Structure 1
Amino acid sequence: MNPITCAGVHFGYRHAPVVRGVDLAVRPGELVALLGTNGAGKTTTMDLLLGQRRPDAGTIRVLGRDPCADRRRLTAEVGVLPQESGCAPGLTVAETVRLWLRLHGRRDVHRATAALLTEVELTHRADLRAGRLSGGERRRLDLAVALTGRPRLLLLDEPTTGLDPQSRAHTWALLRALREQGVTILLTTHYLEEAEALADRIAIMDAGRVVFTGTLDEAGGPGSLATTFHRIAGQPR
């Protein structure tokens, strides 16, 4: 069973189509990078996978379940990093992580909090309120929250936006380690070098459709992704 399957998925706002027949499969233990220009439909596709919106047509299965009908059950198995941070600004970094660990029923709260903050390099910010973090630090806190449930599947919407090069490299190493542990990952990114560095396969969206899926070699090999992306994206459909 593939952790993610989309078949002929359509969705629109007030008769304006946004997702127009998306077909996408993500295999177990795979990291897939979803690329596309602004407005291509990436974030809406992520919302559909999360069950936050119901498709107008087509079928979506996440870990074998309908994400709308089984949204509560999937919460325990799917870690989510949205495009916009949802962390309460008045809580400290440590309080935020402890809260989400308790919501997931974790009993090892204090040990797990320390481990997660170490993983995202926020130990030195543990007692700082989330609202005082820099943009990159908030992104790292969002990632820690996404990991609190020990997820089988991660859905990450632009996970390294705002990170400095060192933090981005550390996050890449963490994502690679999670993939090696068997976690399946779908991420969106505007950084083509991020896709080249991390992805087992690449999917390119344009005008609401997935117009290319394949390995980096199938996209032209290392250093060729930018050429392939600009050749494919934005073409008349």
Structure 2
Amino acid sequence: MTTESIIACAGLRFAYGTAEVIHGIDLTVGRGDLFALLGTNGAGKTTALELLLGERRAGGGTIRVLGRDPWLARRAVAGEVGVVPQEGGCAPDLTVRETVRLWLRLRGRRDVAGPAAALIDELRLTDRATRRVRQLSGGERRRLDLAVALCGDPPLLILDEPTSGLDPQSRLHTWQVLRERSRRGTTILFSTHYLEEAEELADRVAIMDAGRLALCATVDEVRRSGSLTEVFHRIAGTEVTL
């Protein structure tokens, strides 16, 4: 991890009509960070990620992703960011293999057979390679979403609840995949409802509460004042089911 900023937000604001839902966020994610974004439902996590991806236009403040404004340079930013959205969108009639090969081609790869096989194996989908997406379980689709995000080895991953719906074994394996990518220099920003996931996986965490950034710190800094679960509970003021 270095001090170079891959994501930088200053005074970020966004409103749906007259209802402001993001209130002046300042956030920096450095190169190589494994960064967790936490918050209860409605805290603003998904909206914040959509702003970073250029899917929504900020109502105030500034955003830079890989040095660019994601709204003004959405196509350029999209070419360098691997995304797992909250709801996956892989074509249901393609097979797993066809899906990964297609995305590798879209990322500019010509020789796709070997890289596709490697990604499918990395996400433990080899025995599902010839199955159509619509035939996969929810957890298998989520692993395919991550395989698609990893196509082309993007320098930045933005993942919205990437382990939602996974069984415990698959979740642990996904953590291993993300840790390895981080060790290789990929910057990863992910949202999650699982506090133990953030505490075990992330280097740094941010907690959103009602559209505001209530805390941004390293996991070690958070632990000095209690477990992440305790700190989250104090900020959010609600019980969290792990």
TM over 0.5: yes
- 2:208 is aligned, of 205, 210, 214, to 205
Secondary structure of the corresponding residue to residue 149 of structure 1: coil
Contact 1:33 1:203 in 2 (8 A): yes
Q: Structure 2 CA distance, aligned partners of 1:171 and 1:2? A: 25
C-alpha spacing 1:223/1:232, structure 2 compared with 1 (3 Å): closer
* 1:148 corresponds to: 151
* 1:219 corresponds to: 222
Structure 1 position 221, deviation (Å): 4.8
Q: Structure 2 CA distance, aligned partners of 1:15 and 1:4? A: 27
Q: Structure 2 CA distance, aligned partners of 1:218 and 1:38? A: 25
Q: Structure 2 CA distance, aligned partners of 1:209 and 1:143? A: 28
Contact 2:160 2:192 in 1 (8 A): yes
Structure 1 position 188, deviation (Å): 0.2
Contact 1:196 1:222 in 2 (8 A): no
* 1:36 corresponds to: 39
Deviations 1:92-128 (A, max 9, x none): 1111111111111102200011000011110100110
Contact 1:77 1:153 in 2 (8 A): yes
Structure 1 position 223, deviation (Å): 7.0
Q: Structure 2 CA distance, aligned partners of 1:50 and 1:191? A: 23
* 2:179 corresponds to: 176
Task: Could you tell me which runs of 5 or more consecutive residues in structure 1 were left unpaired when the two chains were aligned.
Answer: none
Q: Structure 2 CA distance, aligned partners of 1:173 and 1:37? A: 25
Contact 1:50 1:68 in 2 (8 A): yes
Alignment pair present for 1:21 and 2:1: no
- 1:99 is aligned, of 86, 98, 102, to 102
Runs of 4+ with >3 A deviation: none
TM-score, scaled to structure 1:
0.96
Alignment pair present for 1:121 and 2:124: yes
Q: Structure 2 CA distance, aligned partners of 1:91 and 1:123? A: 15
Contact 1:94 1:126 in 2 (8 A): yes
Task: Could you tell me which runs of 5 or more consecutive residues in structure 2 were left unpaired when the two chains were aligned.
Answer: none
Q: Structure 2 CA distance, aligned partners of 1:230 and 1:121? A: 35
* 1:233 corresponds to: 236
Identity rate of aligned residues, in percent? 65
Q: Structure 1 CA distance, aligned partners of 2:155 and 2:58? A: 24
Deviations 1:17-59 (A, max 9, x none): 1111111100110111000000000000000000000000000
Aligned residue identity for 1:142: D
